[in-house]
Structure 1
Amino acid sequence: MAEYQVEVLTGDMEYAGTRDHIYVTLTGADGKSERTELDNFGLDFRTGDTATYTIKTNSSLGKLLLIKLEKEANTLLVMEDEWYCSKIVVKTPEGDAILFPCHLWMSRGEVVELRGGKATKVFEDDHPALVDHRKQELIQKKNTFQWRVLDEGIPHINHYKEVAELPAEIRFSKSKSSEILHTKIKSGIELMLKGMLGSAENWETIDDMKKIFWLKKTPMSEYVTEHWKDDDFFGSQFLNAINPKVIKRCSELPPNFPVTDKMVQPFLEKGSSLQKEMEKGNIFLYDQKMMDGISPRLQDGKPLHVTPCICLLYSNPEKKLMPIAIQLHQQPSETNPIFLPSDSETDWLLAKMFVKNADLMDHQAVHHLMNTHFLAEAYCVATHRCLPVVHPIYKLLIPHFRYTLPINTGGRLNLFGPEGALSISSLGYEGLMELMRRGLSAVTFSALCLPYNITSRGLESVPNFYFRDDGLKLWGIVNSYVKAMVEFYYPSDDDVRKDSELQDWISEIFTHGVLGKKESEFPESFSTVEELVRFLTMVVFTVTGRHAALNDGQFDYHSWVPNGSLLLMKPPPTSKGQSSMKTVMETLPNLGDTVSFAALAWVLSQTYSDTVTIGQFPEERFDEPVPKQIIKEFQAELSYLSEAISSRNSQLEVPYIYLNPNRVQNSITI
């Protein structure tokens, strides 16, 4: 007689427990156990509980391979009673304790087979039962997760059109769903009580806009409200606000940007010149040429206005990045003047507002939505389709895809719907889609790797660039973690080449993520361990650090809509000296649109109770000592970085908080 101790952990999220009947069957290399109900005295499978059951067999089953779980209805209960099983640990007669990760919701009548033991690659399975289980799992997963084309020229997406259609285990937790709803209701009620929601009235004064939210403020949002007109603050946002990936060092002016030395010399160091400052590496360029020629949205039958602008910035001796020249359209002309800080206050302010309008649409469409959310969805869907749960790369990546599909599926309706904030932007749905198409055509794998991105833009030494400083450190920590994990499971390049599941995975990403474009530099296959490490580092950093930097400051910087609006109502100035503060107020969106943008920033920057920060893995998936130790070292390095960032920030007037590991989320969840 042999005894197996089966320890079952029920999840600790809301409604994870069940009163239904749970049956288990153990499969070993030498036989199977009887189908056995897991039933102790009292109530089994309560939320957050761990229970141990004994299963007896006539003899040892040999190497334990699979666990079959079955859930049957309790005849005393009428309503569906789903159960979330986190994991099962089986102690064998030989003294081994084998982890069987589950992390699934089970419905009545459902049968689930779990793989246990260490992570394995496809060519390492040596038992027919495991080979067949692996094959059947991938068939089922490819049926569960399919590709869909949302629009021509952008990454393909998952085929589910409603969040409610998604498999239960990848949907939001009930607590998060209720908190998101509460946030929307809370902001909506406040704005409704103030008579702002849906109002078509125009703002009378800038100070009136300070009344948008009473219940929600942050130190940074209040700082922005007071400093949004300041040139040094305008320049600093290209480094440390929500779109720090666009400016480049300028060694030669574009031919379509005829800035003369005489124009900008008053704003340079005394006795210097534009040429000298370019040679010193102190001149930077923001060039929104990718937006040129895209048709804006129609408002009341008339087109709105989009400015594919060019902005010249100067890193001055006080280590401040200052705007010194702005051209609002690509082709110079008499009706497209170059605006300067010496122009009238409102001319210069309007020029900066149109730059921020273009930058914010570029940020949302290309850098935020496409380069993080949409590409992450391609990585996620390919992972579900191509890698079985026992695969080491699945175990490595799946915590970093938590909530990716529900936030994207729901976001496409909320953001791009008829009343969505992006649909009412200056570009509108069609314009933003075209911008995303152009963005995908321009994106390269190298540019998504932060060290190359910083170097290629010539930003290695620009002062006070905290996104760069914190981001490169975080990239290095992620890279060391990924490298250690990959080298443990792939001792040689040959292991990478012969892993057919891994090759299918990267092939699907190349086909559906970047649409098979070789110029993207995305790999079509992997030949070396080094290639695999670099690609996985990019993926993990994208869904953690990059997304945090591009998303989490949205309320801080853009709940005050004058600092950057997705929608501007009047055309940009075509001559100097004709504007006033009245022009500025007429250019800003009306009350209803303004508060819609501010409310969106509130929701997108909210922190929820079930947040998981980078390096935290509440779902245990690795069973071997070495990966567990690698995770501990990863967590320690993240903790050291967090302490260093907090110490640095304590000395800054405007702290940079978005890449502090104690707040960077482990996946894209908002």
Structure 2
Amino acid sequence: MNSSVSAIILLLCGIFGGVWGYTIPQGPADAVRRGVAINTTRAGFLYGPAVAGGPLYPSGPLGKAKVAADIGNEQLETTPNSLLVAEDTARASSSTEQYQGLDTFEEYLLLYQGQWAKTLPKGPAPGLLTNYTQDLFFSMERLANSAFSVRRLPRSSELPFQVDYSTVSKVTGSSLSLQKLLQDGRLFYADHRAQASWPRTTNKFAAACDAYFYMSKRGQFLPLAIRTNVGSNLIYTPIDEDADWTLAKIMFNVNDFFFAQTWHLAATHEIVQIAWMAAIRTLSIEHPIYALLDRLTYQLFAIQPLAQSFLFDNGTAFDTLFPITGTGARDFVTELYFNGTGSFKEGYFETDLQKRGLINGDGPKLKHFPYYENASTIHKAIRSFMRTFVRSFYKSDRAVRGDPELQAWATEANGPAKAIDFPSKFDSVDELTDALTHIAHLVSTVHHSVNTNNLLSISATLPMHPASLYRPVPTTKGITSVAQYLPPLQAALAQFQVDGLFARPLIANSTRSLSYMFDSPTFLNGTNRETRTAAAEFKEAMFTFSKQIRSRTFNRDGLSQGAPFIWRALDPTEAPFSLTI
């Protein structure tokens, strides 16, 4: 049997069957023995060109075998889901009389009556169908389902754009200027101006908004102003006429929707992808970290070819739904990845939030922060598991430093893999724990907060979240109809259909849910008592947290976690344990 065939068999054993009794290298002789197999893998698992933008992608016979295995697993899982989407789409498409022509803004709510029951069994987020026009709804989305584009402006910042004192005072209900909000550390900002420069699709339109949000004296997080940055570059505020201000919020949502879907590819899929590739080329399949990463990266390599064929190719999702072409969107992902978004350590959970001033910021603490409140519970449980797992194999920092395969992973990631900001070496148990916790965080609490079931339940709901405008951005204020800018019926149904393909309703309450992230016989059978106990504790913690999420209701002010909607995207019994598209 030649070496390539042997390597494929070994790698597929790692993919499908696991190893009984994971170990770190036990001395020089063991390292040499394991190194022979690793070198064979390195000869067959190669770095190839990017498939859908971003970093390198697997090539060589072993790389192609692993990609094929991931695609096979992905197709097995998504086929039943796709059938549900097709069933829902057919039902919705045959109910055209129900929608009354979508001639008014409110008629878009009729798209939800008796529809999408298979793909979205629980319907949109509670509160959405009644509170969707509220300013607090719009602003709190920035702290829940779309928490990665907003930041607090440091007190020393120059203001990106001006809003006059009279307007700011009327909006805030107090004698405050924009500069005073900045000095008090209560001014926040989101910037989508970069979207103006990418190639456009036909007959679909968008602004390139940047926007201010502010913290009121009562601690509420609210919108202050939205600038379009196209055409006559209008600045809208909540004191404008209702139709103008509603359209301004929709224009921002169009930009934010595009950003979230492109950003998440760079910030989750592609960071994990390149780290896993480097690990495959440096860790023995007998290594416990190889086994852990193999679990967390389930179906990972299927995403790039799927994204290219489903999202970026000519005539596919971006071309048909969004204002920026598929080619432009793919290149935007690449630019994001190589210009900060692809940074590994800079994206650590609290590091990122602190860098953007959302926690421990230069100003008052956010009174409510649904994303952080949900994700921190899961992140804490992930870190607890990872610490136990790492300590069960490495009894000291010295043992971490002395593992040649582990150190080779860091060297490989920073060398041939060209990963960005990956640890250059692992010096301690804590440093290794941080890195593994971050990978688990990316595949769960980051990804599923902006994607998966989150799209149909809130982030892509109509009428407030179209993928595009269907008339040019206004050059003057005073519009009389918001509906004329929204997608016509067939485009609206197409948006639901595409977003439904991202959902995973069949994962709910199954072993594919986040609660079972570490509860896999294939993985656990090769570990030890401490790891198995930690996995059971993690699962129990997730079941408990799920009950808390499911029991949430509105308080007497009609709010949940400070928002006029109940956000449940990170319910661990419904979100997957690994990345999906």
Q: Which bracket does the TM-score occupy, shorter chain normalised?
A: 0.7 to 0.9
Q: Is the Cα contact below 8 Å between 1:237 and 1:244 reproduced in 2?
A: yes
Aligned pairs (5 A) from 1:11-410 = 104=16, 115-117=19-21, 119-124=22-27, 126=29, 132=33, 135-136=36-37, 139-140=40-41, 143=44, 146-150=47-51, 154-159=54-59, 166-168=67-69, 171-172=72-73, 176-194=77-95, 203-212=102-111, 214-216=114-116, 218-221=122-125, 223-241=127-145, 243-250=146-153, 251=155, 254-292=158-196, 294-299=197-202, 305-329=205-229, 335-366=232-263, 368-410=264-306
Residue 553 of structure 1 deviates from its aligned partner by: 1.1
**Aligned-partner SS, 2:223:** strand
Cα contact 2:266–2:334 (8 A) shared by 1: no
- Do the aligned residues in 1 keep the contact of 2:268 with 2:446 (CA within 8 Å)? yes
- For residues 66 and 334 of structure 2, the distance between their equivalents in structure 1, rounded to whole angstroms, comes to 28
529-538 vs 490-499, which moves further: 490-499
1:64 is matched with none
1:574 Cα deviation from its structure 2 partner = 2.5
Structure 1: how far apart are the matches of 2:404 and 2:505? 39
Quick check: 1:416 aligned with 2:312?
Answer: yes
Q: Counterparts of 2:104 and 2:423 in 1: how far apart (Å)?
A: 53
Structure richer in helix, relative to its length: 2
TM-score normalized by the length of structure 1? 0.72
1:573 aligns with one of 465, 470, 474: 474
Does the 8 Å CA contact 1:249/1:458 hold for their aligned counterparts? yes
The alpha-carbon deviation at position 555 of structure 1 amounts to: 0.3
Partner of 1:81: none
Is 1:612 matched up with 2:521? no
Partner residue, 2:487: 589
SS for the counterpart of 1:562 is coil
Alpha-carbon RMSD across the aligned residues, in angstroms, is 3.5
Segment drifting more, 524-533 vs 353-362? 524-533
Conserved? CA contact 1:337–1:574, under 8 Å: yes
CA contact (8 A) 1:544 1:666 kept: yes
Q: Quick check: 2:258–2:467 contact (8 Å CA) kept in 1?
A: yes
Amino acid of the structure 2 residue aligned with 1:566: A
Q: Is residue 2:430 matched to residue 1:526? A: no
* 1:246-302 deviation digits (Å, cap 9, x = unpaired): 21123366444011222210121434444444344332212224435x2331416xx
Give, in whole Å, the separation in 2 of the partners of 1:490 and 1:529.
Answer: 7
TM-score under structure 2 length normalisation: 0.82
**1:598 corresponds to 2:496:** yes
Q: 2:319 aligns to what SS in structure 1?
A: coil
Match of 2:347 in 1: 448
The alpha carbon displacement at 1:361 in A equals: 0.7
C-alpha distance after superposition, 1:534-566 (max 9, x if no partner)? 111111111111112111311011453322222
Structure 1 equivalent of residue 362 of structure 2? none
C-alpha distance after superposition, 1:391-447 (max 9, x if no partner):
011122221111222344323311223232223311112322332233221223344
| Distance change (3 Å), C-alpha of 1:634 and 1:225 | closer
CA distance in 2, matches of 1:403, 1:527: 30
Distance 1:131 1:475, change over 3 A: same
Cα displacement string for residues 18-48 of structure 1 (whole angstroms, at most 9, x for unaligned residues): xxxxxxxxxxxxxxxxxxxxxxxxxxxxxxx
C-alpha distance after superposition, 1:352-410 (max 9, x if no partner): 111111111110001x2221122222233333333222101112222111122234432
Query: Cα deviations across residues 91-137 of structure 1 (Å, max 9, x unaligned)?
Result: xxxxxxxxxx87638xxxxxxxx8533x222354746xx95466236
Count matched residues.
541
Match of 2:572 among 633, 645, 661: 661
Q: Take 1:590 and 1:378, find their aligned partners in 2: how far apart are those partners? A: 40
The alpha-carbon distance between structure 1 residues 539 and 115, as it changes in their structure 2 partners (threshold 3 A), is closer
More strand by share: 1
Higher relative CO (Cα under 8 Å, sequence separation at least 6) belongs to 2
SS in structure 2 at match of 1:363:
helix
Deviations 1:308-341 (A, max 9, x none): 32211122345432212111118xxx92232122
Equivalent-residue separation in structure 1 for 2:60 and 2:247 (angstroms): 42
Aligned counterparts of 2:215 and 2:578: Cα–Cα separation in 1:
35
Going from structure 1 to structure 2, the CA distance change for 1:350 and 1:386 (only over 3 Å counts) comes to same
Q: Secondary structure at the match of 1:482?
A: helix
CA distance in 2, matches of 1:418, 1:233: 35
CA 1:260 to 1:669, structure 2 compared with 1: closer, same or farther past 3 Å? same
SS in 2 for 1:634: helix
* Structure 2 unaligned blocks of 5 or more: 1-5, 360-364
Structure 1 gap ranges (5+): 1-67, 72-85, 87-100, 106-113, 197-201
Structure 2 CA distance for partners of 1:485 and 1:142, relative to 1, 3 Å: farther
Distance (whole Å) between structure 2 residues aligned to residue 659 and residue 314 of structure 1:
26
- Is 2:335 aligned against 1:438? yes
